[in-house]
Structure 1
Amino acid sequence: MILENYYKIENNKLRISRQQASDFAKQIANDFNPLHDTDSKRFCVPGDLLFGLVLNHYGLSQNMRFVFSGMVGDGITLHFPGNAAEKFAISGSNGKDYLHIERSGDITHDKTLIQRLVEAYVAFSGHAFPYVLVPLMEAHSVMVNPDRPLIIYENMELHLDRLDITNPELKLSGTSFKINRKRGDVQLAFTLHDNGEVIGKGTKNMVLSGLRPYDAERMQRIVDDYLQRQKQFTST
């Protein structure tokens, strides 16, 4: 994976095209959410790509927290501040902040490690739907709107015991699902491993909107459509 393939720098501004965002989602993250299709009316850049670009630009810190405050749509150029402190934000050409970052501890700019960690994280993240989220929804007797399923990446945290990592891998360690009327807050907890040794932990938090009573048949149609999109892509 070469992150430079998924953005362009123009006049000191970073821009991600629809095609680049869609390619990253499908080729790297195994994410077939229609929001990342080039022709989607609600198109947005994958949050996992923004996560990777931050690590690529500022390095990997032992403790990091990412809070997404908006979806980056088409035509938005992003400003990555030159002198980032322990807390900083990635803003857009429209003056809006899209991502807030907090970091502390030791830091590494090892490009090989960063690439491997990003690949491990997006592989874990891309597995969430349908294999984790659908059983969670079924267990809580709710589901997203089948006509307009919306799952939003809200925030994530990463805590590493050390940075001399050679072969990172993420494993799911727990889940939680809190429901407030039509909103569901899902947390996926994970541990980080390096050659079999646990060397850190983290969480990924998502929001599921438009919740309604679980309908097994309609949910299965969503899953079948998602897997069919995935199959069509991998067979071309």
Structure 2
Amino acid sequence: MILENYYDIEHNNIRVSRQQASDFAKKVANDFNPLHDTDSKRFCVPGDLLFGLVLNQYGLSQNMRFVFSGMVGDGIELLFPESATETFVISGSNGKEYLRVERSGGNSRDKLLVSRLVEAYVAFSGHAFPYILVPLMEAHDVMINPGRPLIIYENMEIHLDRLDIADPALKLSGTCFNIEGKRGLVQLKFTLHDNDEIIGKGTKNMVLGGLRPFDAARMQTVVDDYLQRQEKFGDT
């Protein structure tokens, strides 16, 4: 994966076009959330791409936490600090904060390691819908609004035992689903592996909006539409 294909940079200011964001979502993350379509009225840059941009700029630290405080829309220029401390913020040229990063421990700027780790993470993350989230919603007898599906990336963190990693991979290790009215708070827990050795762990937290009673037929329609979008893209 060549991350540079998915953004433009000038003086540490980064801009992601609709096409670049959409290409990353579909080609790299296998994520067909309509929010990342070039013609979406609610278009936003994938959180997984922002995660990759931070690692690409500042390297991979043993302990990292990412808190997403806003969705990056079309035409937003992101201001990346020239030198990053243990805690720093990615803001937009509009003065709005979009991402807060906390990090500690050792740090590696090995471009190959960063690329492989980003690829491993987004492969895991992009698989969440429908394969993890739909069974989870069914088990709790709720679902997102089929007419206006809303799944928002809230925060994620990674903790690594070491940074000399040859072949990183992520595996789901547990889930947690808390319901607050029409909002669902989902946590996906995962372990990080290097070949057969567990070398770390992490979590991804999301907010599901517009919850309502689970309707198997309507949910299946949403899933079928999502999978058809994947298939159609693969045929192009």
Asked if 1:48 is matched to 2:40, the reply is no
2:221 paired residue number: 221
2:68 paired residue number: 68
TM-score by length of structure 1 reads 0.99
Give RMSD over aligned pairs.
Answer: 0.6
Matches within 5 A, 1:99-110: 99-110=99-110
Question: Which residue type is aligned with residue 92 of structure 2?
Answer: G
Write the distance in 1 (CA, Å) between the matches of 2:10 and 2:55: 20
Q: Which runs of 5+ in 1 are unaligned?
A: none
Question: Which residue type is aligned with residue 194 of structure 1?
Answer: D
Q: String of CA shifts for 1:42-98, please: whole Å, max 9, x gaps.
A: 000000000000000000000000000000000100000012110000000110010
Q: String of CA shifts for 1:22-46, please: whole Å, max 9, x gaps.
A: 0000000000000000000000000
Asked if 1:163 is matched to 2:163, the reply is yes
TM-score by length of structure 2 reads 0.99
Write the distance in 2 (CA, Å) between the matches of 1:44 and 1:235: 25
Matches within 5 A, 1:175-214: 175-214=175-214
2:233 paired residue number: 233
Write the distance in 2 (CA, Å) between the matches of 1:178 and 1:82: 38
Asked if 1:126 is matched to 2:136, the reply is no
Write the distance in 2 (CA, Å) between the matches of 1:117 and 1:9: 22
Question: Which residue type is aligned with residue 156 of structure 1?
Answer: M
Question: Which residue type is aligned with residue 64 of structure 2?
Answer: M
Post-superposition offset of 1:135: 0.2
* SS of 1:188 mapped into structure 2: strand
* SS of 1:225 mapped into structure 2: helix
Question: Which residue type is aligned with residue 184 of structure 2?
Answer: G
| Aligned CA distance change for structure 1 residues 86 and 11 (closer, same or farther; 3 Å) | closer
Write the distance in 2 (CA, Å) between the matches of 1:113 and 1:11: 25
Question: Which residue type is aligned with residue 197 of structure 1?
Answer: E
Write the distance in 2 (CA, Å) between the matches of 1:13 and 1:179: 38
How many residues were matched structurally? 236
Write the distance in 1 (CA, Å) between the matches of 2:105 and 2:227: 40
1:144 paired residue number: 144
2:135 paired residue number: 135
Asked if 1:39 is matched to 2:19, the reply is no
Question: Which residue type is aligned with residue 140 of structure 1?
Answer: H
Write the distance in 1 (CA, Å) between the matches of 2:6 and 2:83: 23
Post-superposition offset of 1:12: 4.1
Whether the aligned pair in 1 keeps the contact of 2:12 and 2:81 (CA below 8 Å) is no
Write the distance in 1 (CA, Å) between the matches of 2:11 and 2:18: 19
Q: String of CA shifts for 1:129-173, please: whole Å, max 9, x gaps.
A: 000000000000000011100000000000000000000000000
